[in-house]
Amino acid sequence: MRWTRRRLGITLLGVMGIAIAAVPFLTDDRYLLKVLTFVGVNAIVVAGLALLFGYAGQISLGHAAFFGLGAYMSAYLTTTHQTPWLLAVLAGTGIAAAGGLLLALPSLRLKGHYLAMATLGFNEIMSVLFVELRGITGGNNGLSGIPFPSIGSFVIDTPAGIYLLVWGVAALAFLGAANLVRTRPGRAMRALHGSELGAVASGVDTTRLKVQVFALSAALAGLAGALYAHAVGFISPTQFSLEFSILLVAMVVVGGTGSLVGPFFAAVVLTLLQYVHALIPGLGNDVASVIQDWEVDISGMVMILTVIFLPGGFAALVRRKRIGVAVDGETV
Amino acid sequence: MRLLAVCDLSKRFGGLAAVDGVSFDVHEGTIKAVIGPNGAGKSTLFNLITGFDRPDVGSVDLLGCNIVGMNPHKVVRAGISRTFQNTQLFEELTALDNVLVGMHTQLRTGFLGGALRLPWTLTEERRARERASYLLRLVGVEQYVMTPAADIPHGMRRLLEIARALAAAPRLLLLDEPAAGLNNRETQSLARTLYRIRDEGVTIVVVEHDMGLVMEVSEEIVVLDRGRKIAEGPPLLIQKDAAVIEAYLGEEGEYV
Ligand SMILES: Nc1ncnc2c1ncn2[C@@H]1O[C@H](COP(=O)(O)OP(=O)(O)OP(=O)(O)O)[C@@H](O)[C@H]1O
Ligand SMILES: [Mg+2]
């Protein structure tokens, strides 16, 4: 058997999966596990955004709002109505999907900048609602005392348990997305991105497809938000601001279009940047606080530099390097 | 049998009658050519038939059903596929994936089936790949299966777009200037490919400026000039038609 690109890729992914799964068995540093859990949460959102932006070519600056919708829905149901966790998370996912559908139906007729503006506006409106709907969201104080994930009497209340739960979901999200892009719906997304005329001429209902991908990515954001709420136990409106939406888009842009692995690594790096002081012990406090204060700006800069000097993101860089080295691998 | 009936089709852009009261039939299993000077309305005619543009008046019947007003992706399902004068390939996708997208209407895998890789999804996927490879061989671009469309030589790109159009299993195939930019040898091979496609049971309407190719492959020719149909008939009669010669001499004499 040849050591093809595909087998190499699968092997690397396997090693990475084992490494991620092994973390809680190697450390019991609660803070580190919590930070890495946030990485997993962001990765779930990025799986959806990579499909929407990186594959289907549709921009969204509103995904923090879908994340917030999922978080508030699940938090509200579990804290005030004692809804079972699983049901509440599903409801959070569902309401984000529904929100995505409602936003997508009118706005996906818009292109480029206009779609960006529509989703940006949506994020701002939701930010206001998260504050103003005090009865549900707790206003500026947010919601606290959100219970741990549980199914029946089985409660996941350790950092390690929550870490594994979130990363399990993240793994499924990426696996599903990876399968999707290699079958009919995923090919149609990439076609849409390449030539909308060509996609239509191939019989693809492009409007319907855009709405579907948008709703799917909103659902994943909602799911991540719900998981996040139960992982931290406290949520407040500032966590779901436009800044977070931009950070999420930066992850996909930097990671690369038409790729899942690229955005995944970008999500890891750009999330960890926020917690750099805790992760690199030797780092001076002043340096750490500068990085923290400028997190969004740094991500923004990296995004701009990527767009200018590395269109297609890091994934494109890796692909370019490979040309001439291995054209085999993929089999028909 | 009458496959397509275009009746009194008209389209104005502002003050310009791009297509003006054009009628003709296409019979199943034939190759028909549509010719005419630049700006005669040939591409617009294709857009009207395939739903990319809506006619002001007139009807397009496919096997007796009016398809005017249908969304272009539905027209594909109804049985008409097309290529574009400016090729509309998916540049980053391989030739194989381009054709697999063309099979969109023939496959059924949805979001759930795709994400979960259900057993029947895999079966469908394997069959689709076999069919796509066959179509690439049929048009003669099999050596580029795994090459991104952007890296495929010009002439081969036109053939690839034909393969993608065939992937939707159309009854009627509309080709907009398939020989544009091809050299002599490639044009010869295109002619053979068109015969092969017709022999597979696909009816063809081809818009083409290469008169050698038109006279060789087509059984019937429709001639447009400034939006109007000025002649229709077999190649030998069209070559001698006074109105046709007049129309072409008014533009560029060397065509006929
Ligand atoms: N969308 C449009 N808006 C305005 N005018 C248009 C549009 N599409 C085509 N036209 C005009 O309609 C006329 C017919 O154009 P069309 O593209 O159908 O010609 P054609 O016969 O395909 O020419 P060619 O041989 O150059 O491809 C031209 O004068 C063209 O400028
Ligand atoms: Mg034209």
Q: Among A10-19, A149-158, B193-202, which range has the highest average pLDDT?
A: B193-202
pLDDT band at A330 (very low <50, low <70, confident <90, very high): very low
Q: Is the separation of the CB atoms in A224 and B153 below 8 Å? A: no
Q: Mean pLDDT per 10-residue run, chain B (256 residues)?
A: 95 94 96 95 97 96 93 96 97 96 96 92 94 96 95 93 97 96 92 95 96 94 95 92 81 51
Quick one: pLDDT band at residue A116, thresholds 50, 70, 90?
confident
* CA atoms of A47 and A175, how far apart (whole Å): 9
Most confident among A102-116, A285-299, A305-319 (mean pLDDT) = A102-116
Tell me the CA distances in angstroms from A313 to A1, A113, A256, A271, one per residue in order.
32, 20, 4, 17
Rounded distance between C-alpha atoms, residue A22 and residue A25, angstroms: 5
- Scan residues 80-139 of B and list those with Cβ closer than 8 Å to A: 81-84, 88-93, 96-97, 100-102, 104-105, 107-111, 113-117, 121, 125, 129, 133
Q: Provide mean pLDDT across the span A256-270.
A: 92
**Angle (nearest 5°) at CA A235 between A232 and A236:** 150
Q: Please state the rounded mean pLDDT for residues A144-161.
A: 87
Lowest mean pLDDT among A196-200, A209-213, A309-313, B137-141: A309-313
Residues of A in contact with B145 (CB under 8 A): 332
- CB count within 10 Å of CB A146 equals 23
Is the pLDDT confidence value at A303 over 80? no
What pLDDT digit, counting tens, does each position of A40-96 carry? 999 999 999 999 999 999 989 999 999 999 999 999 999 999 889 999 999 999 999
Residue contact A198–B89, C-beta within 8 A: yes
- Name the pLDDT band for A308 (thresholds 50, 70, 90): confident
pLDDT for A2 beyond 60? no
Please report the domains of chain A, with CATH numbers, ordered by start residue. Answer: 2-328 (1.10.3470)
pLDDT given for residue A331 in this prediction: 32
Please report the domains of chain B, with CATH numbers, ordered by start residue: 1-79+170-256 (3.40.50.300), 84-167 (3.40.50.300)
Task: For residue B45, report the distance from its CA to the centre of ligand 1, in Å.
Answer: 9
